[in-house]
């Protein structure tokens, strides 16, 4: 009996030691004024919060999200802790996360600003996914603020610029709700899970406003059986958004989907490469630019290699260009 007690105590001590050895985060920071500097690459199994008014400067070091010893990683890897935050020069990634769907605040994101103004700049966000998962989460960069009905009682303004996002799950960069997003000079790769869900590389939705310009974007196909469509750029239930001078490549069911009003979509290059996932065919459409709204101005856009270059669009000096596309210089 005494041996069993000693053995049980030993096992318990070893378990506690293992839990202690794997701390919630190995990330360490130095604080100087309003800057929070990451001191080296690290791993975390919980969200890292940026205190109100602070700048998280990772200095090119990497933060890797992993599942905890018990349970699954939940929420964002990095999130604002107040009404103002800045995140810059971070490499953010996730490794071998459980394919366990979460909702609300527990949904997986790389960098999340919720109810906050500030900036997200010069970051690299990669592999924010749960493997072969159809969970409606896994956004590399997300900016959101309630309400989501098109009213603007407390609009937050966020600059999202000079970031590179790759191998995400549901959305590359998304701005939803009562926010103004200045989204420019980002390189947005395609979803890693196109066999499992309908993905969107860039989304401005549910009342958000702003400008989307000078971005390099890879499109997505939905490769499942249900009747959805994947996009390179989705404008959904928004008003007065400006989308201009973006380069869209890859293979998309829809290049730019415009369910919007009073928006300007000008001088974008929307080129398709149907050799990507060609074995699956064009299951859910092959449209360059779609206008399903009203009062929008579609002008000077150039579309190449889509079966239907334009839908619901007339005039505006838009062009359909024949011939194969060149590869996107960023991917």
Q: Is 79 exposed, middle or buried (0-12, 13-18, 19+ CB in 10 A)?
A: buried
| Cα-based distances in Å from 329 to 140, 186, 187, 250 | 21, 13, 10, 11
pLDDT for position 227: 74
pLDDT for position 146: 97
pLDDT for position 277: 65
Place of tokens 């790759």: 166
Task: Name all domains of the chain by residue range, CATH numbers in brackets.
Answer: 2-321 (2.160.20)
pLDDT for position 324: 56
What is the number of other CB atoms lying within 10 angstroms of the CB of residue 200? 28
Assigned token pair, 211: 């400008």
pLDDT for position 24: 74
| Angle formed at CA 158 by CA 78 and CA 254, multiple of 5 degrees | 90
pLDDT for position 219: 95
| Angle formed at CA 116 by CA 112 and CA 122, multiple of 5 degrees | 55
Q: Given the DSSP bridges, would you call strands 35-38 and 29-32 parallel, antiparallel or unpaired?
A: antiparallel
pLDDT for position 296: 98
pTM: 0.90
Walk along the chain (331 residues) and give the pLDDT tens digit of each residue: 433 433 333 333 333 333 334 447 899 999 999 999 999 999 999 999 999 999 999 999 999 999 999 999 999 999 999 999 999 999 999 999 999 999 999 999 999 999 999 999 999 999 999 999 999 999 999 999 999 999 999 999 999 999 999 999 999 999 999 999 999 999 999 999 998 899 999 999 999 999 999 999 999 998 777 778 899 999 999 999 999 999 999 999 999 999 999 999 999 999 998 776 665 655 678 999 999 999 999 999 999 999 999 999 999 999 999 865 555 555 5
pLDDT for position 7: 32
Instruction: Give CA–CA dist 125/62, Å, rounded.
Output: 10
**Per-residue 3-state assignment (H helix, E strand, C coil) for 237-270:** EEECCEEECCEEECCCCEEEEEEEECCEEECCEE
Instruction: Give CA–CA dist 87/122, Å, rounded.
Output: 8
């Amino acid at each position: 009996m005494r041996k069993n007690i000693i053995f049980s105590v030993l096992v318990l001590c070893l378990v506690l030691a293992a839990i202690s050895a794997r701390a919630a985060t190995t990330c360490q920071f130095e604080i100087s004024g309003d800057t929070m500097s990451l001191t080296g690459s690290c791993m975390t199994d919980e969200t890292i919060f940026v205190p109100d008014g602070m700048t998280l400067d990772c200095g090119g070091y990497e933060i890797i999200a992993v599942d905890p010893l018990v349970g699954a990683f939940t929420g964002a890897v990095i999130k604002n802790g107040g009404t103002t935050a800045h995140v810059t020069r971070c490499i953010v990634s996730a490794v071998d996360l459980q394919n366990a769907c979460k909702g609300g605040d527990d949904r997986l994101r790389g960098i999340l600003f919720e109810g906050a103004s500030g900036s997200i700049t010069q970051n690299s966000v990669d592999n924010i996914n749960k493997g072969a998962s159809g969970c409606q989460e896994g956004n590399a960069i997300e900016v959101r603020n309630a309400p989501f009905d098109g009213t603007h009682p407390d609009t937050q303004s966020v600059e999202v610029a000079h970031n590179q996002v790759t191998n995400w799950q549901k959305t590359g960069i998304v701005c939803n709700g009562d926010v103004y997003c200045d989204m420019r000079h980002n390189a947005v790769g395609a979803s890693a899970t196109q066999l499992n869900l309908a993905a969107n590389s860039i989304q401005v939705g549910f009342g958000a406003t702003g400008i989307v310009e000078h971005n390099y974007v890879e499109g997505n196909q939905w490769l499942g059986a249900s009747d959805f469509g994947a996009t390179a750029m989705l404008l959904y239930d928004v008003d007065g958004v400006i989308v201009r001078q973006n380069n869209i490549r890859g293979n998309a069911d829809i290049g730019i989907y415009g369910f919007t009003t009073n928006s300007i979509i000008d001088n974008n290059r929307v080129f398709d490469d149907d050799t990507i996932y060609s074995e699956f065919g064009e299951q859910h459409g092959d449209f360059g630019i779609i206008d399903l709204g009203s009062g929008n101005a579609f002008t000077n856009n150039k579309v190449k290699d889509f079966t239907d270059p334009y839908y619901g669009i007339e005039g505006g000096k838009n062009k359909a260009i024949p011939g194969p596309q060149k590869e996107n210089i960023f991917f």
